[in-house]
Amino acid sequence: MSAGFRRIIILSVIAALATFSGCGGGGSSSDSGTALPTRTLSWEPPTSYVDTTSMDPVTELDRFEIHLNETGTFADTDPPIATVSAVDPATHILTTSFNLANLSPHVTVGPKYYVSLRAVAITGLKSDYSPPISFSF
């Protein structure tokens, strides 16, 4: 099957939310000027396509899209709130986490948010959304 018809398996992109309170630094400011606590979203990148063809996420992934809303329902036309390079250009290490406090001013203290990831291959193909995870500050 040609690469143009393969889609990345998102089932292996298992996202998890870890809360690290009081670890200092790393948070962005909310609308009130108070630093948001660190909320780390972590994931395992996909390692195969839907047709079970193996993939090397270090060489075949371009980026991860981070999607955010207050409903937990995401559509293919929704723009990402942030993107993260799949591989750190300085270290050549695969990216597997993101501090959600860095989404300020799109997030504030109080509301319940849902976040979902999409992996994007260097060919431009996008995975399905990961199951949404809820969080709040």
Question: 74-106 in b/e burial notation, b at 16+ Cβ within 10 A?
Answer: beeeeebbbebebbeeeeeeebbebbbbbbbee
pLDDT higher than threshold 50 for residue 2? no
Q: Please tell me which residue, 16 or 21, carries the higher pLDDT value.
A: 16
Give the number of domains in the chain.
Answer: 1
**Separation of alpha carbons 39 and 22, rounded Å:** 11
Q: Please tell me which residue, 107 or 16, carries the higher pLDDT value.
A: 107
Amino acid at 23: C
For residues 114 and 136, the answer to whether their CB atoms sit within 8 Å is no
pLDDT higher than threshold 80 for residue 30? no
Question: For residue 9, what pLDDT band results from cuts at 50, 70 and 90?
Answer: very low
**Host domain of residue 34:** 3-135
For residues 128 and 119, the answer to whether their CB atoms sit within 8 Å is no
Return the bridge partners of 84, or none.
64
* Span 70-115, pLDDT tens digits: 999 999 999 999 999 999 999 999 999 999 999 999 999 999 999 9
pLDDT higher than threshold 70 for residue 10? no
Confidence at residue 12, expressed as pLDDT on a 0 to 100 scale? 40
pLDDT higher than threshold 90 for residue 6? no
3-state secondary structure (DSSP) of residue 4? helix
The CATH number linked to 44 is: 2.60.40.10
pLDDT higher than threshold 80 for residue 31? no
Q: Highest mean pLDDT: which of 8-12, 13-17, 22-26, 128-132?
A: 128-132
DSSP track, 45-79: ---BBTT--B--HHHHEEEEEEEEESSS---TTPP
Could you say which DSSP state residue 87 is in? B
pLDDT higher than threshold 70 for residue 40? yes
